Structure 1
Amino acid sequence: MRPVILTNDGSHTVYHPVIGSHYHSTHGAIQESRHVFIEAGLRQMPLNEISILEIGFGTGLNALLTFMEAEILKKSIGYSAVEAYPLEPEIIQKLNYLEQLEKGNLQQAFEKMHLTKPGEWESISKNCRLKILQQKLQDIEFEDKFNLVYFDAFGPGVQPEMWGADVFQKIFNAMEPNGLLTTYCAKGEVKRTLKKIGFTVESLPGPPGKREMVRASK
C-alpha cells in the first residue's frame, strides 16, 4: 500500500513507490493546493458557473478545496477529474484534510467524492458536481469544454509522457476561450511547450518550497 506522509503544514500527502514521487508537496499539501489551484486559478475566474478539468485527482484534496471555496464565492462548479489509478479506500480513510481544515462536517461529501461512479456526474453539494474519468488522459475524448484546468500530474522527471505537446494540445482544444491552466511545475521545457501550442504563459511565485509556478491562458 502507498504510504501516507505528514507534510510540513500538518496535512497528509501520499507517496507512490513505483513512480517515486509524492501526490502533494512535502512542504505542505494543503498550502500547495491552495496556492497553485485556488488562489492562482479558481479565485481568478469571474464566471459564476465554472467548468473545471483536473489532471490527476489523486487524494481529492484539490476538489475538496474547490468545493469549499465555491460555497464561499457562491459559484456553481462542474468538476471533471482524470484519474486512471484511484487510491485505495484504506488510504483515503487515513487522510487528515478535514481535521486540518476543521471541516469534519464535510466527511460524507469527501467520502462521496471518492465513491463517484466513473464517467457519471455526482452531486457533491448544492452547487458542485463531480465526474471522475477513470482512464488515461491519452485515451479520453473530452465531451465538455473547460474554463479552468488544474494540471496536477506527477512531475515530468518521473512521468514525462504527461507533459508532452500532444497532452497540452488536447487540453488546449478542450478549453474555452480565456480559459486558465495552473500547475506547480515551472520547468523551462514545460513553459516552452505551452507557448508553442498557443498558451500565454505567466511565471508566478510558487508555494513554499518552490520558487515559481505557472499559469497559462488560452
Structure 2
Amino acid sequence: MQADIQLLLTADGSHTVRHETLGVTYHSIHGAVQESQRVFIELGLQAAFERFANVPLRVFEMGFGTGLNALLTAREAERHGRPVAYTGVEAYPLPPEESQKLNFDVALGTTFLNALHASPWHETVNISPFFTLNKQQTSLQNWQTNERFHLVYYDAFAPSAQPELWEPEIFQRLACFLLPGGLLTTYCSKSYVQRNLRAAGFTVEKHPGPARKREVLRAISPPIL
C-alpha cells in the first residue's frame, strides 16, 4: 500500500496523494483543503462544537492518511479555544519521505503537520494546548476501544477500492464508537452507503458538497444505542 504513490497538486493549490495501484486519491483533485474543510470541519467539527458545548471534544478519524483532517481540526481547536482529543486509525501510513513533501502547513499558515506525522503510534501526544493526538496503526476492523466519541470523520478509500469498508457491519461498529447523538461525516453519498448507515441506526442527512461534488453526508447516531 505504501510503495506505489504519487504526490499531486489539486485545484486549490494543496496536495493530495494518489495510490496508483488502487487508482484512488486521498483527497479530491478539485481541492484537497476545500473538500476536507467542507466535509469534516464545517459539517462535522463545527456542528459538534455546537451540539456538545462546553465539553472537551473526542474525534475519531478512519483513515489518518495525509494528516490534513487532523491539521484542520487542530487549527479549528486553537481558533475556538476548545480542547479536542483526536484518535486516528491508519493501516498503511505514508512513509516519512512522502509526508514531509506535503504543503498543507504552507497552504494553511499552520505549523503542526510535521508533529502530526512524527508523533509515535499508540501514544497520546500533546500537539498544542488544545489538541492531543493518538494514532493507531491498525485496520478499523481490528481496532478495539472502550472510548466513546462525539464525532467520526469517515475518510476511508472510496468504495471502488475498498468496498468492505462501506458495509452495514462497519457502520454498526462505528455507531458503537459514538456517544448518543454523535455525528459521522463522509464525502461518499452513494445510495447504498446511505442505506447501510440507516441500517446501522443512523439518521442520514444530505448536504451540498465541495467543488464538483453535489452531495455529501452527515449521519447522527441514535439517542440510545
Q: TM-score range by the shorter chain?
A: over 0.9
2:17 equivalent in structure 1? 14
After TM superposition, the structure 1 stretch with the greater mean CA deviation from structure 2, 89-98 or 27-36, is 89-98
Gaps of 5+ in 2: none
Instruction: Spell out the pairing of 1:169-188 with structure 2 (5 A cutoff).
Output: 169-188=172-191
Q: 1: CA distance between counterparts of 2:161 and 2:8?
A: 19
Instruction: Spell out the pairing of 1:59-208 with structure 2 (5 A cutoff).
Output: 59-103=66-110, 106=111, 109-208=112-211
Once the two structures are TM-superposed, the CA of residue 78 in structure 1 deviates from its matched residue by 0.5
* Paired letter, 1:146: F
May I ask how many residue pairs the two structures share in their alignment? 214
Q: 2: CA distance between counterparts of 1:98 and 1:113?
A: 11
Runs of 4+ deviating beyond 2 Å = none
Instruction: Specify the SS of the correspondent of 1:173.
Output: helix
Once superposed, what is the RMSD of the aligned Cα atoms? 0.9
1:26 equivalent in structure 2? 29
Alpha-carbon deviations, 1:105-127, whole Å to 9, x = none? x1xx3212112221110110011
- Identity rate of aligned residues, in percent? 48
CA contact (8 A) 2:104 2:113 kept: no
| TM-score, normalised relative to structure 1 | 0.96
Instruction: Specify the SS of the correspondent of 2:146.
Output: coil
Once the two structures are TM-superposed, the CA of residue 165 in structure 1 deviates from its matched residue by 1.1
Once the two structures are TM-superposed, the CA of residue 143 in structure 1 deviates from its matched residue by 2.3
Once the two structures are TM-superposed, the CA of residue 17 in structure 1 deviates from its matched residue by 1.1
| TM-score, normalised relative to structure 2 | 0.93
Instruction: Specify the SS of the correspondent of 1:198.
Output: coil
Gaps of 5+ in 1: none
